[in-house]
Structure 1
Amino acid sequence: MNDSVTRNNLQLNKWIKRAWPSIILPLVVLFLFHNRNIHPGYNVSWWKLYKLARRLRRNGKSIKSGSSYRAHLAMAAKLLEISPSTEGVVVECGCFKGGSTANLSIICDFVGRDLIIYDSFEGLPSGGPNDRYTRDAQGHFFGALDTVSHNVEKFGVLERCSFRKGWFIDTLPEHVEPIVLAFLDVDYQASIHDCLVNLWPHLIDKGYVFTDDYTYTDLCAVYFSEEFWQREFGTNPPGLIGTGTGIAMGQFFVGPLMSMGGNRAYPLQSPASTAYTRKDYTGYWGYRRENEEKNE
């Protein structure tokens, strides 16, 4: 009896995992792009956006990726809010096998921007002793430059891409182009630090930073750290929309990630999302009761 119930549940889970993305795709497109802030200069129709979404989803099934096509769609929605006359590139830090890169290259071609990809193309580094998530991770998420560029050429728009190989600590300080959107999927605290310190100054005033490391609240904490933002930039922290669970993208995820058993038993509970902030946002608290201020 139990074996039969288990088999039936597994079959149901498989059916849901296959059918659910097709069911929700039109709704995701509708809710994401039914947006009065989309700049009229792009002259996009709902049908064009739906075809874009379908292409991104197909790529998600064709190339192994560390992030979801839904997250890539969210980035497309925000890029469409930025005037096409505004100067700036899109930056990706950490690309694995090139699944996200291929999709971002398509989006960049859609909005007329260039994509700069920073990656070691050797997998994760060894990491430092103060980093929480570096244990036995060296070499993980390896994707050779030839593999990534081949995948982008086959599934994306290679002409939009510029690859900058090396460790973030060496390559990112050389960045000079203005940035309209940066996508960080870098796993380590040291890498997040290097990305923010070196790229944030190049972000336009209303530029976006997206992260795939949103399921770990301690990694998200940097976006609320008053000490970090005052020390590095002399400003208040921007906060992070989607901390811990991601933004609503047609999936259900209440977390935490480590308790989900790889999500095999919960086909609808998937962290297939992202989190983001913008340069002019604020995550600063700063409130004190009036009597506390008077007593100082």
Structure 2
Amino acid sequence: MKECYLKFINNEKIVLTDDEKKSMVNKFITIDENIECVHKEEELLTFIECLLTNKPEGVIVEAGCYKGGGSAKISLLSEAINKKMYVFDSFEGLPEHNENHEKNIYGKDVTFVKGEYSSAYDQTVSNVKKYGSEKICTFVKGWFKDTFGDFHEPLAGAYIDVDLVESVRECVTKFYPLLSKGGVLCCHDGHLPLVIELLDSNDFWENQVGCSKPFIEGLGTEKLIKIIKE
């Protein structure tokens, strides 16, 4: 068993019994083995552990789900703490864009093409149904600009993996103001210079999000960045 899972099981701050933690980890390992995931195991656990230790009020959202590996894991968490979950994705992959990301913080070339990370809606839902808890999920199909407008529920947490800076902008401006006290927003795109530039901008936070720039853990140094709502 990977070290990150052992740490999760041994984390006494998590509001689950040892048997519940072991059961959840075993299900996570099954997901890792059967669904192509773009996250590292410890990245999703960072988000999940925040929700289990801070215990914020509200629902949970995921933006950008690919084949549903992360969705399945988060749905198991949502079921365990009795929260609704919303999954937002175009199910058409990335949209047309003209963003030039050049190199990420690790010095690797970055190119995103239209349609990349596309996964069929039915296949993604099927994966979550088989390996997670599909019954507590609401899947919202479409481009963010068309689907975010009707969503206004208080948030315990938001997990964002959307690649393009304009998509990150849409997600943060929508979800951050909805976060409850102690709620967590994690973004899996923190290795991209355009995303770093956006989230490091006081102007973005003050004039588009409507608040002072919060502390952003890992900004500029980590792929997964984390914000806890004060």
Gaps of 5+ in 2: 102-109
Q: CA deviation at 1:26?
A: 5.1
Deviates further, 72-81 or 95-104 = 72-81
CA distance in 1, matches of 2:180, 2:2: 36
State how many pairs are aligned.
222
- CA RMSD in angstroms comes to 2.1
Matched, 1:116 2:95: no
Counterpart in 2 of 1:34? Answer: 12
Map 1:170-249; keep pairs closer than 5 Å: 170-246=146-222
Q: How far apart are 1:23 and its partner, in Å?
A: 4.7
Moved over 4 A (4+): none
Q: The residue matched to 2:148 in structure 1 has which SS?
A: helix
CA contact (8 A) 2:165 2:198 kept: no
Mapped pair 1:74 → 2:74: no
Tell me how far 1:215 sits from its aligned partner.
Answer: 2.2
Contact 1:220 1:240 in 2 (8 A): no
The percent of aligned pairs where both chains have the same amino acid is: 27
The match for 1:56 among 24, 28, 35 is 28
2:60 matched residue in structure 1: 90
Q: How far apart are 1:69 and its partner, in Å?
A: 2.8
Unaligned runs of 5+ in 1: 1-21, 247-270, 281-296
CA distance in 1, matches of 2:146, 2:140: 10
1:208 alignment partner AA: V
Pairwise mapping of residues 125-204 of structure 1 onto structure 2 (< 5 A)? 125-127=95-97, 129=98, 131-133=99-101, 137-204=113-180
Supply the distance in 2 between the matched residues of 1:119 and 1:28 (Cα, whole angstroms): 31
- Flag the structure with higher helix content: 1
Matched residue type, 1:224? D
Whether the 8 Å contact between 2:159 and 2:186 is mirrored in structure 1 is yes
Counterparts of 1:30 and 1:222, CA distance in 2: 36
**1:15-69 deviation digits (Å, cap 9, x = unpaired):** xxxxxxx2524542256x233xx4xxx4x22332133123212201210111123
One-letter code aligned to 1:95: C
Secondary structure of residue in 2 paired with 1:76: helix
Shift of 1:148: 0.5
Distance, in Å, in 2 between the alignment partners of 1:159 and 1:23 is 29
2:115 maps to amino acid:
G
Partner SS, residue 207 of structure 1? strand
Amino acid in the other structure paired with 1:52: M
**Contact 2:156–2:183, Cα closer than 8 Å, also in 1:** yes
Paired residue type of 2:197: A
The equivalent of 1:99 in structure 2 is 69
Deviation, 1:157, is 0.5
1:285 equivalent in structure 2: none
Counterparts in 2 of 1:226 and 1:245: CA distance versus 1, 3 Å: closer
Higher relative CO (Cα under 8 Å, sequence separation at least 6) belongs to 2
Q: 1:139 to 1:179 in 2, by over 3 A?
A: same
The one-letter code matched in structure 2 to 1:71 is: E
| Rg larger in structure | 1
Change in CA separation of 1:52 and 1:141 when aligned onto 2, cut-off 3 Å: same
Please tell me the residue identity of whatever aligns with 2:7: V
Residue 6 of structure 1: aligned partner:
none
SS of residue paired to 1:80: helix
Would the aligned equivalents of 1:184 and 1:192 in 2 still touch at CA under 8 Å? Answer: yes
